[in-house]
Amino acid sequence: MHDTLEVKLCRPDPSDGFEVHRLVESSPPLDPNSVYCNLLQCSHFDGTSICAKQGDQLVGFVSGYIIPARPDTLFIWQVVVAERGRGQGLAGRMLDALLGRPECGKVDYIETTITPSNTASRALFKKFAATHGAEPSITKGFDRKLHFQDHHESEELWRIGPFPNT
């Protein structure tokens, strides 16, 4: 049983990039990206990414961006919660907070890709869809052979929405 975390949600800035890298790196099965990539997420994509902090400590992060050719769709790149913060609805809260941002005012859909074996991620997005009254549509995303040359499990594409505009 984990203690309930008192967390604040905030926009990332570049000073968060290295800790994001550490958190992702210590959270399998996520693919760790380069620190440089995390710095870009925390600067260029700060409006569509979110940190959860307990005091000064990063305990959660979501990276996302608006798909350039489809401004009604927020793509969620990675979601991570530190082990000690899991099972308390934190990932769901971060997604909800992102959807409420002014940058997401025109967003009607969320897309993400999930490997079939990632039970926690599937449960998270299923719950998120149900909370927002939407059924996820699940189609082929990136294929193990075609796109990963057998070096990575296939990624299914989840599309959730439309969300009511409030």
d(CA 11, CA 52): 9
**Most distant CA atoms of the chain, gap in Å:** 44
Q: Which of 85, 67, 83 is nearest to 75 (CA)?
A: 67
In angstroms, rounded to a whole number, what is the distance separating the alpha carbons of residues 119 and 77?
17
Please report how close the Cβ of residue 76 comes to ligand COA at its closest, in angstroms. Answer: 7
CA separation for the pair 12, 39 (Å, rounded): 9
Which CB sits closer to ligand COA, 72 or 96?
96
**SS3 label, residue 134:** coil
Nearer to ligand COA, 51 or 124 (CB): 124
Give the span between the Cα atoms of 4 and 86, in whole angstroms.
9
Closest CB to ligand COA among residues 88, 154: 88
Query: What's the length of the chain?
Result: 166
Nearest approach in angstroms of CB 130 to ligand COA is 8
Q: Minimal distance in Å, beta carbon 116 to ligand COA?
A: 12
Interaxial angle between packed helices 90-99 and 119-131, expressed in degrees from 0 to 180 and rounded to the nearest 10 = 50
CB 95 to ligand COA: min, Å = 8
User: How many angstroms from the chain centroid is the CA of residue 107?
Assistant: 15
Binding site for ligand COA (CB under 6 A): 27, 29-30, 78-81, 86-92, 118-121, 123-124, 127
Residue 161 C-beta: closest distance to ligand COA, Å: 18
Closest to ligand COA by CB, 63 vs 104, is 63
Give the residue with the Cβ less far from ligand COA, 29 or 105. 29
